[in-house]
RNA sequence: GGAGAAGUACCCAAGUGGCUGAAGGGUCCGCACUCGAAAUGCGGUAGGUCAGCUAAGCUGGCGCGGGGGUUCAAAUCCCCCCUUCUCCGCCA
């Protein structure tokens, strides 16, 4: 969410941001008109309230002296009705402004390219080379089914499409990856581990930007105000909602594993096979709370932390900078890490690292003070996958497959797996 | 699920209808004591948010878990909700 005062002072900045994203900029003028009306009303109603307060005080004083105050009381009763009417009008306008503000995306950072969609993203660098095979490589869904470690059919039976049962070495690989990733981030990259709830309330979903605009992408628990987390970003970022953080605690780095749940409402027919697009998947997430002046440096570090996992696993990847059309609603700048996926003969997103600047912090009201007595400022929040576990399993199975249908276990995972090869 | 208690600013905490933006602490700053620090003593500043006029600042509104209500006037009275704690019940 944006600061109303900032929009008032610099509307062009926000209009330009919307234009760069290819979105309707007239919302800014709508907000400004409502804001003007709102401030006029405030001025009017506050004058009346000030009068009511002082006159009411007179009533108390008169009564103490045993004098008659009924004239003031009658007058104030009338004034009270007037105030009530104006208050309601003001509340209505403020609700309208709030609704508009919650629907305005973040302003893209100047450094990111203009573009309509993912085709105009820019590759920043490549690590490794697409894996070459001396035989015809199989997609991971075939490898997994043939090894009897992935079971899509029974998952469909017990739940539905876009769910998977992982068995034996696949199940263990999943556990191994989660532990491996968390261990690297806590012991080498300075993150502190969090294990949060998998359900959050609507206020949290609003705080990070999933609500109100993207309700159809998430699963809502019937008869409650709870949502299944689409990413650990939501519970972890909202940990500090409505708090003023101590500057000596900044920057805060958290790493959290959760299962993630996504309705995938707009993805019918896409990535229907395998582990790439599931309603439930595992992810290790990195979340940072930092000083505003540090956030872009922190974004580079966070992206490097996520990339480090791919490098340790020996998986070829590229780093891509998102263009304005693909940067996402809440982010000002975003890098995707895309892993080489032989079955797609292409790179597939496996991590998304974003700087939200104060966009989420303002929604969630997460602040800090530079010194005692100083005015609280909003922190900058960042997050990134470190990594998506299901896609990592798919990438390992495909890139490390052998001609006989088994899968070599990457060196870094062997201590966690206890074996160096997954075979029949 | 049942019974009871509580929620006041960054933290602790007093406050049951008007003079309470809210005592007192802590935190923070200065001074004294000390070789220095701690502890102690003395003095002092600040406090969230919105609006207005401005250069610092000043004025006003809101605000005491959240939302509604009663009243000329609400931290204080009433209703609903949330959270925490204690006891009981149930349970992995």
pLDDT tens figures, A114-164: 999 999 999 999 999 999 999 999 999 999 999 999 999 999 999 999 999
Q: Is the pLDDT reported for residue A229 higher than 90?
A: yes
Q: Cβ neighbours of residue A176 under 8 Å, at least 6 residues apart?
A: A413, A416, A417
Instruction: Give pLDDT tens digits for A322-370.
Output: 999 999 999 999 999 999 999 999 999 999 999 999 999 999 888 887 7
CA of residue A242 to C1' of nucleotide B31, angstroms: 38
Is residue A335 within 8 A of residue A322, CB to CB? The reply is yes
The string of DSSP codes covering A153-179 is HHHHHHT-TT--EE-HHHHHHHHHHHH
Q: How far apart are the first and last CA of chain A?
A: 52
What pLDDT is recorded for position A377? Answer: 86
Q: Please, how many CA atoms are within 13 Å of residue A311, restricted to the half-sphere of its CB?
A: 11
Task: Provide the 8-state DSSP code for A325.
Answer: T
Cβ of A165 near strand B (under 7 Å)? The reply is no
- Give the mean pLDDT of chain A: 94
Q: Is the CB of A66 under 7 A from strand B?
A: no
Catalytic residue (choose from A174, A352, A354, A385): A352
In this prediction, residues A28-47 reach a mean pLDDT of 93
Q: Could you tell me the two tokens for A203? A: 């206020």
pLDDT at residue A373 in the model: 66
A57 touches strand B (CB under 7 A): yes
A415 CB less than 7 Å from any atom of strand B: no
Give the percent of chain A with pLDDT over 90.
Answer: 83
Q: Residue A377 burial (CB < 10 Å; 0-12/13-18/19+)?
A: middle
Bridge-based pairing state of the strands A366-369 and A243-246: parallel
**Does A349 qualify as catalytic in the annotation?**
yes
Q: Which residues contact A171 (CB under 8 A, 6 or more apart)?
A: A149
Write down the pTM of the prediction: 0.93
- CB of A59 nearer than 7 A to strand B: yes
Weakest-pLDDT range from A65-79, A204-218, A285-299? A65-79
User: Is-catalytic flag, A352?
Assistant: yes
Buried b / exposed e along A274-301 (16+ C-beta atoms within 10 A): bbbbbbbbbbbbbbbbbeeeebbebbeb
Structure tokens at A108: 């893209």
Q: Quick one: pLDDT band at residue A374, thresholds 50, 70, 90?
A: confident
Q: Is the CB of A78 under 7 A from strand B?
A: no
> By mean pLDDT, which of A14-18, A178-182, A211-215, A302-306 is the weakest?
A211-215
Query: What average pLDDT does range A175-198 have in this prediction?
Result: 96
Task: Give ipTM to 2 decimals.
Answer: 0.84
CA distance A378 to A397: 43
Residue A363 annotated among the catalytic residues of the structure = no
**Covered bases, chain B (protein CB within 7 Å):** 10, 18-19, 27-28, 45-52, 60-62, 68, 71-73
Determine the Cα–Cα distance for residues A149 and A145; give it in Å rounded to an integer: 6
* A67: annotated active-site residue: no
Bridge partners of A75?
none
Average pLDDT rounded to a whole number, residues A299-318: 98
A372 CB less than 7 Å from any atom of strand B: yes
Neighbours of A23 (CB within 10 A): 15
Which of the following is catalytic: A25, A277, A308, A414?
A277
| Neighbour-count burial of A306, counting CB atoms closer than 10 A to its CB (0-12 exposed, 13-18 middle, 19+ buried) | buried
Within 10 Å of residue A216's Cβ, how many Cβ atoms? 9
| pLDDT for position A417 | 97
Q: Is A20 one of the annotated active-site residues of the chain?
A: no
Integer-rounded Cα Rg, in Å, for chain A is: 27
CA dihedral sign, ordered A248, A250, A255, A256: positive
- Cβ atoms of residues A377 and A250 within 8 Å: no
pLDDT band, residue A372 (cuts 50/70/90): low
- In angstroms, the CA A250 to CA A258 distance is 24
């Amino acid at each position: 969410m944006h600061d109303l005062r900032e929009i008032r002072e610099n509307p062009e900045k926000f209009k330009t941001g919307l234009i760069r994203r290819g979105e309707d900029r007239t919302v800014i003028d709508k907000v400004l008109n409502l804001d003007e009306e709102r401030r006029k009303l405030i001025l009017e109603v506050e004058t009346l309230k000030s009068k009511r307060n002082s006159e009411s005080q007179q009533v108390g004083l008169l009564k103490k002296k045993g004098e008659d105050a009924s004239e003031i009381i009658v007058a104030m009763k009338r004034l009270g009705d007037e105030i009530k009417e104006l208050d309601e009008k003001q509340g209505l306008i403020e609700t309208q402004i709030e609704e508009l503000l919650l629907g305005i995306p973040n302003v893209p950072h100047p450094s990111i390219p203009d573009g309509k969609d993912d085709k105009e993203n820019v590759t920043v660098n490549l690590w490794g080379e697409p894996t070459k095979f001396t035989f015809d490589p199989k997609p991971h869904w075939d490898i997994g089914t043939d090894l009897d470690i992935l079971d899509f059919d029974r998952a469909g039976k017990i739940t539905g499409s876009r769910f998977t049962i992982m068995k034996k070495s696949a199940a263990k690989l999943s556990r191994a990856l989660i532990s491996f990733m968390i261990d690297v981030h806590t012991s080498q990259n300075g993150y502190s581990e969090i294990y949060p709830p998998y359900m959050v309330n609507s206020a949290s979903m609003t705080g990070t930007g999933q609500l109100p605009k993207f309700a159809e992408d998430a699963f809502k628990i019937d008869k409650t105000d709870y949502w299944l987390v689409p990413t650990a970003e939501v519970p972890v970022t909202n940990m500090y909602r409505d708090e003023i953080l101590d500057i000596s605690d900044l920057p805060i780095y958290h790493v959290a594993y959760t299962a993630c749940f996504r309705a995938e409402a707009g993805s019918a027919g896409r990535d229907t096979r395998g582990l790439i697009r599931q309603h439930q998947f595992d992810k290790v997430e990195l979340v940072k709370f930092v000083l505003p002046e540090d956030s872009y440096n922190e974004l580079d570090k966070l992206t490097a932390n996520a990339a480090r996992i791919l490098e340790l696993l020996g998986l070829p990847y590229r780093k891509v900078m998102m263009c304005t059309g693909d940067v996402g609603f809440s982010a000002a700048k975003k890098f995707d890490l895309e892993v080489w996926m032989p079955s797609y003969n292409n790179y597939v997103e496996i991590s998304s690292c974003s700087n939200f600047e104060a966009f989420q912090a303002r929604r969630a009201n997460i602040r800090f003070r530079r010194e005692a007595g100083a005015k609280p400022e909003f922190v900058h929040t960042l997050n990134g996958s470190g990594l998506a576990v299901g896609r990592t399993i798919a990438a390992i199975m495909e890139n490390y497959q052998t001609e006989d249908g088994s899968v070599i276990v990457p060196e870094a995972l062997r201590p966690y797996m206890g074996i160096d090869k997954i075979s029949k």
